[in-house]
């Protein structure tokens, strides 16, 4: 009897968990991604803020696939899915499937702000973090040679849009980089005039967490000299200034966008109904309506539970990936799983050294205990023993010496979006 081919598109958090669960199940498992590595996205901001090497948060997919019986990997990009023919159209040709797990993730959502999209940096890909790190360090190099005080301060002004975990974590990491590291690297600059501005459209930070933790985060960031603007929206940018909704102008050469995501472009190619943000509504078992052999997981999937849409987060993707794999195995054995049920294990965000917030199992942590929990959890979920050791050593080094070793400008060319 011929083995059923299961194709997994996207080796993010959901794809990796699905592959692990399907390994050794007797199916022909094909893994597809446009990159040859799995990326630990939650730590991208640390690469951008010179805290970690980019290699330490990525793991080659082929190295992982060697440990999964029956798994093969193909480096290509999926352009479209022919649901009727059960076939993928890729850069390297057509690939048939018996079962398909779509977990291509998400893309940055600029909400139609063309000039912002043109001039802003985002943090979705490994290369994005390296480009942003280069830009930040080059901004200080340019500031050293800039005779105009106003322009010099604009070079040292960094506007971050979005008060969710990514924006909060990057703002905290960036102000610590400026105050503890770059202040020593650039004694000729008055780095105390550098600005990190966090812009949030709502009236609080970390809206998905309890309000008390959002208030703690706000106070902590402001005590670190981060300027936090609530009820504010960025509407325009030109590379040298950022314009807010009320007409206020912030002279700044760096704009980082972390204010929203939407489903990956692959979702648009599917001839099925779409929900907000381009996400694809799925059945309770994560399958596509009318196509029970196709499962959609992670950020691409739109599923409501208990009156709310499941968030576009890594824990959701991981649980969905495992469920989709088990559903396929069960179906091949003539069984059926109960509907997917997401189990919320909580959320957390780090603010800076010894400071974080966490909400889990009805408990709220802040300060050092939350920071320690954040550190241990992120090391645990990193893939690869070497990566865990390298990241941990980097954090220990920074904790004791306030030094970030990855202050490398690896490209001389200026970022021009």
Q: What's the token pair of residue 131? A: 């480009």
Question: Given the structure tokens 């040298």, which residue do they identify?
Answer: 240
Cβ neighbour number for residue 304 with a 10 Å cutoff: 11
Among candidate residues 118, 153, 176, the one with its CA nearest the CA of residue 398: 176
Question: Given the structure tokens 């975990």, which residue do they identify?
Answer: 165
Could you say which of 127, 130, 146, 169 is catalytic? 169
Measured distance CA(161)–CA(163) in Å, rounded = 7
Q: What's the token pair of residue 228? A: 């936090």
Measured distance CA(84)–CA(315) in Å, rounded = 31
Contact 220, 356 (CB under 8 A): no
Q: At what angle do helices 314-332 and 13-22 cross, to 10 degrees?
A: 30
Contact 312, 108 (CB under 8 A): no
Measured distance CA(158)–CA(140) in Å, rounded = 11
Bridge-partner residues for 302, per DSSP?
Answer: 281
Measured distance CA(349)–CA(13) in Å, rounded = 18
283 is known as an active-site residue: no
Question: Given the structure tokens 């504010």, which residue do they identify?
Answer: 232
Give the total residue count for the chain.
Answer: 417
Q: What's the token pair of residue 78? A: 């999926």
User: What are the catalytic residues?
Assistant: 169
């Amino acid at each position: 009897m011929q083995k059923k081919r299961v194709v997994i598109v996207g080796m993010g958090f959901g794809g990796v968990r699905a592959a692990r669960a399907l390994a050794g199940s007797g199916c022909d498992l094909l893994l597809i991604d446009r990159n040859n590595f799995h990326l630990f996205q939650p730590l991208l901001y640390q690469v951008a803020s010179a805290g970690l090497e980019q290699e330490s948060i990525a793991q080659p997919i082929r190295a992982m696939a060697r440990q999964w019986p029956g798994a093969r990997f193909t480096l290509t990009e999926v352009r479209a899915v022919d649901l009727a023919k059960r076939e993928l159209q890729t850069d390297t040709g057509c690939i048939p499937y018996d079962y398909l797990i779509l977990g291509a993730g998400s893309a940055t959502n600029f909400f139609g702000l063309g000039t912002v999209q043109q001039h802003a940096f985002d943090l979705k890909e490994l290369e994005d973090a390296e480009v942003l790190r280069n830009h930040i360090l080059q901004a200080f190099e340019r500031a050293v040679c800039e005779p105009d005080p106003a322009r010099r301060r604009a070079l040292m002004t960094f506007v971050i849009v979005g008060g969710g975990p990514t924006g909060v974590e990057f703002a905290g990491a960036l102000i610590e980089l400026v105050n503890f590291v770059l202040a020593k690297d650039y004694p000729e600059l008055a780095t105390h005039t550098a600005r990190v501005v966090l812009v949030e459209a709502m009236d609080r930070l970390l809206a998905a967490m309890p309000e008390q933790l959002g208030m703690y985060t706000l106070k902590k960031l402001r005590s670190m000299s981060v300027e936090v603007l609530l009820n504010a929206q960025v509407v325009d940018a030109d590379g040298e200034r950022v314009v807010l909704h009320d007409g206020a102008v912030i002279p700044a050469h760096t704009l980082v966008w972390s204010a929203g995501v939407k489903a990956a472009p692959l979702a648009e190619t599917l001839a099925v109904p779409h929900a907000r943000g381009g996400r694809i509504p799925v059945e309770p078992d994560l399958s596509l309506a009318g196509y029970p052999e196709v499962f959609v997981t992670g950020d691409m999937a739109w599923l409501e539970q208990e009156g709310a849409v499941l968030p576009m987060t890594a824990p959701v993707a991981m649980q969905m990936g495992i469920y989709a794999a088990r559903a396929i195995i069960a179906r091949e054995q003539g069984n059926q799983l109960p509907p997917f049920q997401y189990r919320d294990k909580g959320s957390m965000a780090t603010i800076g050294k010894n400071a974080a917030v966490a909400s889990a199992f009805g408990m709220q942590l802040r300060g050092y205990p939350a920071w320690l929990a954040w550190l241990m959890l992120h090391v645990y979920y990193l893939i690869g023993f070497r990566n865990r050791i390298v990241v941990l050593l980097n954090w220990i080094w920074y904790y004791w010496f306030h030094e970030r070793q990855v202050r490398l400008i690896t490209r001389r060319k200026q970022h021009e979006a």
